[in-house]
Amino acid sequence: MDNGQALERFDAYLRRRYPDRRTPVDYVSDVRQFQQACPKPWHAVSVDDMDAFVDQMRQAHLKPATIKRRVTALKVYFDFLAEETGQGDRSSPVRLRRHAGKLGRRVPRSLSDTEVAALLAVLDGERDRALVALMLRAGLRVSEVVGLTLEDIWLGVAPGVPARLRVLGKGQKERIVWLSPEATAMLTTWLAVRPSSDTTALFLNGRQQPLTVAGVQWLLKSYGRKIHVTLTPHRLRHTFARQLIEVGMPVESLARLMGHAQISTTQVYLEGADLALRDSFLQAMQRAEVGQAATQGDSNSPAQPDEPLSPDQGLVGAEPEYPPPPDTEGWATDLPEPIRQACLQYVRRHWLGWRPSQRRERALHVLGDFARFWRWVLSRRAFESPAELTAADLRAYMDERIACGHNPCTIKDALGRVFGLLHELAERGEPVSPALFRVERPRLPDPLPRALSDAEYQRLEAQGRRLLEQDTPEAARDAAWFFVLAHTGLRLCELLDLRRHDVDLRGRRLHVQGKASRERVVYLTPTAVQALQRYLRACPHPEQALLFVNARGRPLDGAWLRHQLRALAAAAGIHGVTPCRLRHTLATRLINVGAPITTLQKLLGHDYLSTTQIYARVYDATVERDYRDAMSRLERSSLTQVEADAMPVEWPVPKTTDAFASIDNSV
């Protein structure tokens, strides 16, 4: 069976299994693209071929979700052919853990209220206004919009009853969608001027034919260019959900309006519009900043709306230029070539999976760990291949590092990279001993967060406020990154990867891409909003540009920013301040003023509550207050007992119950 016949059988199988979905179209397209990149017969495809295909997709900057879908399609394809040809014991070249990777948690990206107003102002024609209204004010998917017919509309059913639509959604599931007065007016205006046509489709193109999904996407892309926003149909749907949640619609009702079979799908929209989380954070920060109001100036003034960018503004940072990969030509040439090449391939494979702002620094760090490890092991005994490593080698390395006083975290990180390399070699069929993976790595210490004291933090923040008083672009930038770090608890890598479209000044929030591409929303204090406003006025940015750049428009370097923070802290008489310590300080301050631990968990982006509870172990004002209250009650109770013991014998004794009296008599 050649590749063409195999693909035909696979297509027929998918259409039988998924008759009403797009799965057959997408999966067949994915397999066809793989066959173009790797024209080998299907039974000759190897793990290395899959590695090359995945690397090619990463180099093309495809989204992780797209890569995972294509890898999944190929896994289903090869498993199907193995069963179809009676070769069920054939090993698939697809390794989901190796090739698909982990998907991050994405927060729906909605338009800000300012962007919504700008979009409505540039819409041209009754059709486009009605089209956008159904996605923005009714939350329809683009496929649902183009599938509407004249028979699906009910206008003016009865006095006081809103207009409604019958919508055919995913999985051929119908639902009723209500229309707001604004959407009803726009739809009625379009129906009054809609050209006559043989088709009953609600929306027509210039040839009086039904409008297509691609046509709607092209229209929105054109309008997005006018307002300098990336505009998609689904982003309008996200905006609809976010706005309804913010005005208090129950999530159960929203799920029915949006056609979600599972309410957990709708709850995703709460990530970007969690009013309880926002209010809890702002109230806690307000309590934490008591005593600093005199130095805040006008920082509590309301945030101004985001100003749409105009083409003639001096934009910065349009195309970030990241440092190039390190030159590996002369790296560790003293190592045996098989070991050297295995290490270099490991770095090349992971390069595109690392954050762009961290790639070069991380590659150098990984190569340094590899060089130190293999040189030490090879100094004890000589061998050529990494598969010849033994468990005794690993244990000896750990014992020697610990005896020399190296940090256990550093040892564990270095060994983690070695284990990662060995796992990849084992997946490729190298004879790696299973005993290696049973070696236990050193146990890590459990230190407490190193937060600044209240006095230290107030001195540091006073230095940051002095930057707000300086009228230079550099001071505006430094004040912005300082208050974003200090008032949101972002990690340094999260700060450096922020883009202009992640900032919603009117909503006072940031969209943050955390570890493993897990997105979250954090909220901004008035001071942070003020600092960002000054910075963006001094240095306007296009939507997709990195937020924090230097004077030449290049990304800020992490080492440079750490140096600037140390210098700012030194001016306040404080030493040892790092971005991570600012994160610890914010968490400790919020805990001290009674912020719920679940609020802190969401703001910091922790998957597990146990991670956030580390901050609750710190000696803080909350523990001190609870201790003093408990001891006060205990001491009052003890004092009462002492006074009772000192009573004279003739003091009246309280009357006891019969049950206690019988006990006393028996004694």
Q: Any idea which of 171-185, 327-341, 414-428, 631-645 has the lowest mean pLDDT?
A: 631-645
| In a shared domain, residues 497 and 637 | no
Q: Are 561 and 492 in contact (CB under 8 A)?
A: yes
Residue 224 has pLDDT above 80, yes or no: yes
Residue 4: pLDDT band (50, 70, 90) is confident
| In a shared domain, residues 465 and 603 | yes
Pairing of strands 509-513, 519-523: antiparallel
Domain boundary among 36, 69, 100: 100
User: What is the helix (H) or strand (E) element at residue 521, kind and residue range?
Assistant: strand 519-523
Residue 478 has pLDDT above 90, yes or no: yes
* pLDDT at residue number 273: 62
* pLDDT at residue number 320: 63
pLDDT tens-digit profile of 83-97?
A: 888 877 778 888 887
Contacts of 445 (CB under 8 A, 6+ apart): 408, 409
| In a shared domain, residues 341 and 296 | no
CA angle 9/11/12 to nearest 5° reads 65
* pLDDT at residue number 106: 67
| In a shared domain, residues 516 and 575 | yes
Does residue 511 belong to any structural domain of this protein?
yes
577 against 607, higher pLDDT: 577
Residue 22 has pLDDT above 70, yes or no: yes
Length of the chain as a residue count = 667
| In a shared domain, residues 503 and 629 | no
Domain boundary among 100, 124, 150: 100
Does residue 657 belong to any structural domain of this protein?
yes
Does residue 330 belong to any structural domain of this protein?
no
Does residue 257 belong to any structural domain of this protein?
yes
Does residue 327 belong to any structural domain of this protein?
no
| In a shared domain, residues 464 and 558 | yes
Domain boundary among 416, 438, 460: 438
Instruction: Give the mean pLDDT of 54-62.
Output: 84
**Tokens representing 462?**
């006073």
| In a shared domain, residues 401 and 474 | no
Residue 339 has pLDDT above 80, yes or no: yes
Domain of 201, CATH number, reads 1.10.443.10
* pLDDT at residue number 331: 92
User: What is the helix (H) or strand (E) element at residue 532, kind and residue range?
Assistant: helix 526-538
358 against 484, higher pLDDT: 484
pLDDT tens-digit profile of 169-206?
A: 877 788 888 888 888 999 999 999 999 888 899 999 88
Instruction: Give the mean pLDDT of 492-509.
Output: 89
Does residue 282 belong to any structural domain of this protein?
no
* pLDDT at residue number 269: 67
| In a shared domain, residues 418 and 456 | no
Distance, CA of 527 to CA of 504 (rounded, Å): 14
| In a shared domain, residues 342 and 464 | no
| In a shared domain, residues 604 and 630 | no
Residue 447 has pLDDT above 70, yes or no: no
Catalytic residue positions?
A: 141, 170, 234, 237, 260, 269
Residue 622: pLDDT band (50, 70, 90) is low
Does residue 609 belong to any structural domain of this protein?
yes
The pTM score is 0.63
CA angle 87/91/96 to nearest 5° reads 130
**Tokens representing 577?**
């301040």
Q: How many domains does the chain have?
A: 5
Residue 210: φ, ψ to 5° = -55, 135
pLDDT tens-digit profile of 357-400?
A: 788 888 999 999 999 999 999 999 999 999 999 999 999 999 89
pLDDT tens-digit profile of 95-136?
A: 887 887 766 666 667 888 888 889 999 998 899 999 999 999
| In a shared domain, residues 434 and 484 | no
54 against 282, higher pLDDT: 54
* pLDDT at residue number 621: 57
Contacts of 39 (CB under 8 A, 6+ apart): 3
Maximum distance among all Cα pairs of the chain, rounded to whole angstroms: 109
* pLDDT at residue number 651: 39
Residue 215 has pLDDT above 70, yes or no: yes
Q: Residue 415: which domain range?
A: 337-438
Does residue 107 belong to any structural domain of this protein?
no
| In a shared domain, residues 513 and 658 | no
* pLDDT at residue number 373: 94
Instruction: Give the mean pLDDT of 469-483.
Output: 92
Torsion of CA 207, 213, 219, 223, to 10 degrees: 160
DSSP 353-381: TS-GGGHHHHHHHHHHHHHHHHHHHHHHS
